[in-house]
Amino acid sequence: MPEYQLTEVSYQADPLPRLISLRGLGHPVLLDSADNRSHLGRYSVLAAAPSTVVSSRNTPDALSEVRARLQVLGPARWPAGQALPFGAGALGYLSYDLARELENLPSLAADDIALPCIQLGIYRWSLVSDHLQQRCWLVCHPSLPEAERDKVLARLQQAPSEPAEFQLDAPFHAEQSKAQYAQAFARIQHYIQAGDCYQINLAQRFSSRYAGDPLEAYRLLRSASPTPFSAYLETPDACLLSLSPERFLQVHDAQVEARPIKGTRARGKTLAEDQALASELQHCLKDRAENLMIVDLLRNDLGRSCVPGSIRVPELFSLESYPNVHHLVSSVTGTLRTDCDAIELLRSSFPGGSITGAPKIRAMQIIEELEPVRRSLYCGGVGYIGCEGQMDFNIAIRSLVCANQQVYCWGGGGIVADSDIDAEYQETLTKVGNLLNALPIKPDY
């Protein structure tokens, strides 16, 4: 098997200057461990200039096309003692609306952003930073011409320009009134009482117009809300700015992990208040019940592609704390069957259960009925599928989409039988407020 070529370059804790230097090559993608203090945030991956781009806009079965392209690219082996999580392969996004191609769902919500459900580039090189060792390498697939490698190295030597300012024309506003949200909430309660579902993740959208460079907005958001599964990517149609704390699925050496988040509290203003809020979250029976419901859903999802008997829950109700919020997080693991690959796992598990509800398909049908606009990239995923079969995707929550000079953000939460309308509505505002308060104009809702 041919071998990756690794060229060590100087380590930079902040990947944005190098992103600026490389973005002119086209289709830049940054998988950004902005919060690299935890074991989840050890590596960041930056790539640009894909050899091809697979889009559902012009490919009926884009996931199968990605698999075929990866097979053509072919695997490579790592030099002895230098294995990294990613070298070459597919990077990009899966929108929430991919679910329509995987399950039998109605088509009711307006598709006003109208982005492809899948856009994954095939990249033959990447810049991988190890934040633990504070080292960085340009990793080149053996099929990459030496002239292309030299072009990337030359770009890295250039002084980056400053991105243009990011400006909002007006404060973000909620596109639904509280009364409209309350109607949807009441309908969910009706479905729960009727036995259709146990939990529904209900989201609402916020929007504004903007001018300038979305990368500057990402810089502001990243500084205010660093998370281990952040991402920034540019396509011809849109920019995605994701400050996600949640892993959807990881595959490494046939070992699968999902890390669902269900349960959130704001950080306290004092140490005592903060500790009290964290303790309240950890011991809240409602939050624990919701989290367990999603864990059971994910055990079922992973069980479709994993070896029977291999599903485990090594973490249940763990506390993860970020600058603005505490989260209740669990971990579900399994061993991928030999007759399944990462793409088959995606097909059987997408989208993540933590952002749908349970049971999953009925929950997505109810979401389609009650949310007036499609979720687009929100609650989809950003990540990679490597040419050796490894994979890692986030769930694109805490994320902004910039398209046609409009910028969109969503906030949502899980509704169960004993949910309180005022608390659930406020949770959606709190989640987006933690992001939007970092931007030049404070939200108005």
DSSP letters spanning 358-398: ESHHHHHHHHHHH-SB--TTTTSEEEEEETTS-EEEE---S
The CA distance from 77 to 80, in Å, is 9
Tokens 């990881």 found at:
250
Label residue 389 exposed, middle or buried (CB < 10 Å: 0-12, 13-18, 19+): middle
Label residue 310 exposed, middle or buried (CB < 10 Å: 0-12, 13-18, 19+): middle
- Which residues is 168 bridged to in the sheet? 210
H-state helical runs in 139-284: 146-157, 178-194, 214-224, 271-283
* Annotated active-site residue in 216, 246, 257, 427: 246
Q: Are 191 and 197 in contact (CB under 8 A)?
A: yes
All residues at 6 or more sequence positions from 411 whose CB lies less than 8 Å from its CB, including other chains = 203, 204, 206, 427, 428, 429, 430, 431, 432
Q: Would residue 262 show up in a list of annotated catalytic residues for this protein?
A: yes
The CA distance from 250 to 391, in Å, is 5
DSSP code of 102?
H
Q: Mark 364-378 as b/e (b = at least 16 C-beta within 10 Å).
A: bbbbbebbebbbbbb
* Annotated active-site residue in 65, 216, 257, 262: 262
Residue 377 sits at the vertex; the CA angle it makes with 424 and 169, to the nearest 5 degrees, is 80
Using alpha carbons, list the distances in angstroms from residue 115 to 47, 235, 239, 358: 21, 10, 11, 27
Q: Would residue 246 show up in a list of annotated catalytic residues for this protein?
A: yes
Mind telling me the catalytic residues? 246, 262
